[in-house]
């Protein structure tokens, strides 16, 4: 992911210093040991081993064309954008490996939605994730290593991975040379040892008839060989040269085995003799040291008793002073409690006094201030003007009313005269 994810990679750092859980977010920070800062390196190394067991190099890196991360890739900040992309894709692959369908994150996906989906899958496996999701936006840190390690464990559980007994390689015995004086044996001794071994092995299986037949054949062969070797045609000088040439090859060397119990027994005897000789030398010094220590302890005990007897009065005075000091501390605690209570009451009284002063100042300012009086005068003049205007309007209305009444009266009189019938004119005859 490039543009959409690179924007949020530095939100978990703020000032570039990785914090522990709860630091900078208002949570309570739990004090941990001095090695807690390096715990994520151990978790990261375990994660790499688990990923190798899941064959992530063949199934994940080669298919995605990604480089293999280092052993501390998610523990140290190198490239936050690349690390966050690697974290999202690896988490998605591990979730799929654990048997849960999960889509691979794309380039322009919302980082917050991707992180929330990964955490929801992690909680569905029964794992705890009691840290804010913003801790994963940086792409590195102990929370990133924790999430990936939990997902790798769930993937190993899903595929049924179990640890088998270790197969140790066969160690080749180191050949050790032995001094020639101890290792050289004559051929006669070797022959004697072989004859003794054969007789020990075959003493329970001797058949007399077979033995007689074997001895008869051996005697016949020896007599025939003696007749053949009675006359020798070999030169003595050549024989001696041949003996000198073959003599080094006739030496038999027996190589010792470090695992032989005889060698261990010899070593035990040597160590025992060495310990006994060293003990004889050091026992005198140890006895002297023991005697000096005992004498010194006796002197210290006697001095301690003498000092205790001499300082008995002072010790009693000291104890009495300690008792008085404890009583004085108790009284001080009681008085301190009363002082705190009275201080609280004084603060309450001071708050009430401040409120009363503020009210008095407000009333005094309102009494000495002429603004309300000016407002009243302005309102009175405004009322007078409005009264004059109303009087004018009332006069106009009365005048119009009178005009209408007069006009109506004149109309009525005109109508009355118009309706009178004139009498016909008659003459007197």
Establish if 413 belongs to a structural domain: no
247, 187 Cβ separation under 8 angstroms: no
Place of tokens 């109303």: 390
Can you give the pLDDT at residue 215?
Answer: 66
| Residue 141 per-residue DSSP state | S
**Percent of the chain with pLDDT strictly greater than 90:** 19
Establish if 65 belongs to a structural domain: yes
pLDDT tens per residue across span 118-154: 888 888 888 888 888 888 888 888 888 889 889 988 8
Establish if 111 belongs to a structural domain: yes
Read off the pLDDT of each residue in 273-293 and give the average, rounded to a whole number. 90
Q: What is the pTM of this model?
A: 0.35
Can you give the pLDDT at residue 315?
Answer: 87
Establish if 381 belongs to a structural domain: no
Q: Of 101, 105, 71, whose CA–CA distance to 86 is shortest? A: 105
pLDDT above 80: residue 282: yes
Establish if 236 belongs to a structural domain: no
Range of the structural domain that residue 323 is part of: 258-367
Establish if 105 belongs to a structural domain: yes
Read off the pLDDT of each residue in 215-230 and give the average, rounded to a whole number. 58
**Rounded (10°) CA dihedral 333, 334, 335, 338:** 120
Can you give the pLDDT at residue 25?
Answer: 36
Q: Of 400, 402, 398, 401, whose CA–CA distance to 390 is shortest? A: 398
pLDDT above 80: residue 368: no
pLDDT tens per residue across span 60-112: 888 777 888 888 888 888 888 888 888 888 888 888 888 888 888 877 778 88
Say yes or no: 40 and 153 in one domain.
Answer: yes
Q: Looking at 96, 129, 157, which one is the last position of a domain?
A: 157
Number of domains in the chain: 2
Q: Which runs of consecutive H residues, i.e. helices, occur in 14-137?
A: 39-53, 56, 62-64, 80-97, 111-124
DSSP string covering 217-257, please? HHHHHHHHHHHHSSS----HHHHHHHHHHHGGGG-B-PPP-
> Which of the four pLDDT bands, split at 50, 70 and 90, describes residue 52?
confident
pLDDT tens per residue across span 146-170: 898 899 888 888 888 887 777 777 7
Read off the pLDDT of each residue in 302-313 and give the average, rounded to a whole number. 89
Q: Looking at 311, 343, 367, which one is the last position of a domain?
A: 367
Read off the pLDDT of each residue in 421-428 and give the average, rounded to a whole number. 50
Can you give the pLDDT at residue 262?
Answer: 78
Can you give the pLDDT at residue 383?
Answer: 93
Can you give the pLDDT at residue 169?
Answer: 74
Establish if 314 belongs to a structural domain: yes
Establish if 324 belongs to a structural domain: yes
Distance CA 114, CA 86 (A): 13
């Amino acid at each position: 992911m490039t543009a959409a994810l690179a924007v949020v990679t530095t939100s978990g750092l703020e000032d570039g210093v990785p914090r522990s859980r709860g630091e900078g977010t208002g949570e309570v920070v739990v004090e941990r040991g001095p090695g807690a800062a390096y715990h994520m390196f151990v978790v990261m190394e375990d994660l790499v081993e688990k990923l190798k067991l899941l064959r992530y190099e063949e199934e994940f890196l080669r298919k995605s064309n990604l480089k293999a991360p280092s052993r501390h890739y998610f523990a140290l900040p190198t490239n936050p954008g690349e690390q966050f992309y690697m974290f999202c894709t690896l988490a998605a692959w591990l979730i799929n490996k654990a048997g849960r369908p999960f889509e691979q994150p794309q380039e322009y996906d919302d980082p917050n939605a991707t992180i929330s989906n990964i955490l929801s899958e992690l909680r569905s496996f029964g794992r705890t994730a009691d840290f804010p999701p913003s801790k994963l936006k940086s792409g590195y840190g102990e929370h990133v290593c924790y999430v990936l390690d939990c997902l790798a464990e769930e993937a190993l559980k899903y595929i049924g991975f179990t640890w088998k007994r270790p197969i140790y390689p066969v160690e080749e015995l180191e050949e050790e040379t032995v001094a020639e004086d101890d290792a050289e044996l004559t051929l006669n001794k070797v022959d004697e040892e072989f004859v003794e071994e054969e007789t020990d092995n075959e003493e329970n299986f001797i058949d007399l008839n077979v033995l007689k037949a074997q001895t008869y054949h051996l005697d016949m062969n020896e007599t025939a060989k003696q007749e053949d070797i009675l006359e020798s045609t070999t030169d003595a000088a050549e024989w001696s040269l041949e003996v000198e040439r073959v003599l080094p090859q006739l030496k038999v060397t027996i190589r010792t085995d470090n695992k032989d119990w005889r060698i261990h027994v010899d070593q035990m005897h040597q160590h025992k003799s060495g310990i006994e000789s060293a003990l004889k030398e050091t026992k005198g010094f140890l006895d002297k040291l023991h005697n000096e220590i005992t004498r010194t302890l006796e002197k210290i005990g006697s001095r301690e008793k003498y000092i205790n007897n001499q300082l008995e009065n002072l010790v009693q005075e000291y104890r009495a002073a300690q008792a008085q000091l404890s009583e004085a501390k108790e009284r001080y605690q009681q008085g301190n409690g009363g002082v705190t209570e009275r201080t609280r009451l004084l603060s309450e009284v001071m708050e009430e006094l401040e409120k009363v002063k503020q009210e008095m100042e407000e009333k005094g300012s309102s009494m000495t201030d002429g603004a309300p009086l000016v407002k009243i005068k302005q309102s009175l003049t405004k009322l007078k003007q409005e009264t004059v205007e109303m009087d004018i309007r009332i006069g106009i209305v009365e005048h119009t009313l009178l005009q209408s009444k007069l006009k109506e009266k004149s109309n009525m009189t005109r109508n009355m005269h118009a309706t009178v019938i004139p009498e016909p004119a008659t003459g007197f005859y």
